[in-house]
């Protein structure tokens, strides 16, 4: 179940050379993850308020392959790879047309509001679908 999130590069996203500053790719993939979860029908605000559960990034392995530049139209592709007891593993890519510019392997953990590990809620596991194990 792939999720595509369009994004345009603004001047504020670039450095003096006119290319996207490396840390901004992490912002791009964060926005895409938020929209991916929203698209699954999960309200993260409600999840925190009612169940005391939040998601946090535990690990990111990132490869910067090609530079994006001011005014580029990009697509962030999010693909879930696995869901375990308290973790969600995603593959996220940033593309310009068919060209991959950035790729990240992201591990999210489910935490309580006190910072302890928590199980991924059953409704989220169901919404991820049977293809993710």
Which pLDDT score, from 0 to 100, does residue 120 have? 85
What are 42-98's pLDDT values in tens digits? 888 998 998 889 999 999 999 999 999 999 999 999 999 998 888 899 999 999 999
In a domain, residue 113? The reply is yes
Residue 103 lies in a domain: yes
Could you list the active site residues? Answer: 15
121 vs 5: CA distance, rounded Å: 24
Residue 107 inside a domain? The answer is yes
CATH code, 55: 3.10.129.10
* 15 inside domain: yes
Q: Is residue 133 part of a domain?
A: no
pLDDT tens digit sequence for 36-45:
999 988 888 9
**What pLDDT, in 10s, does the model give residues 102-123?**
999 999 999 998 889 998 878 7
DSSP at 65 = -
Q: Do 120 and 87 meet the contact criterion of CB atoms below 8 Å apart?
A: yes
Range of the domain at 64: 3-128
The pLDDT value recorded for residue 129 is: 52
CA atoms within 13 A on the CB side of 64: 10
Per the structure, the count of domains in the chain is 1
Asked if residue 24 is part of any domain, the answer here is yes
d(CA 42, CA 114): 21
């Amino acid at each position: 179940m792939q999720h595509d999130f369009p994004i345009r590069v603004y001047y504020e996203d670039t450095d003096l050379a006119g290319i996207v500053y490396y840390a901004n790719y992490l912002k791009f993939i964060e926005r895409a993850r938020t929209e991916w979860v929203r698209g699954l029908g999960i309200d993260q605000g409600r999840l925190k308020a009612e169940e005391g559960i939040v998601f946090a990034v535990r690990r990111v392995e990132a490869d910067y392959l090609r530079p994006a530049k001011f005014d580029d139209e990009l697509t962030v592709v999010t693909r879930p790879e696995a869901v375990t007891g308290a973790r969600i593993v995603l593959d996220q890519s940033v593309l310009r047309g068919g060209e991959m510019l950035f790729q990240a392997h992201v591990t999210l953990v489910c935490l309580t509001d006190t910072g302890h590990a928590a199980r991924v809620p059953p409704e989220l596991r169901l919404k991820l679908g049977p293809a993710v194990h």
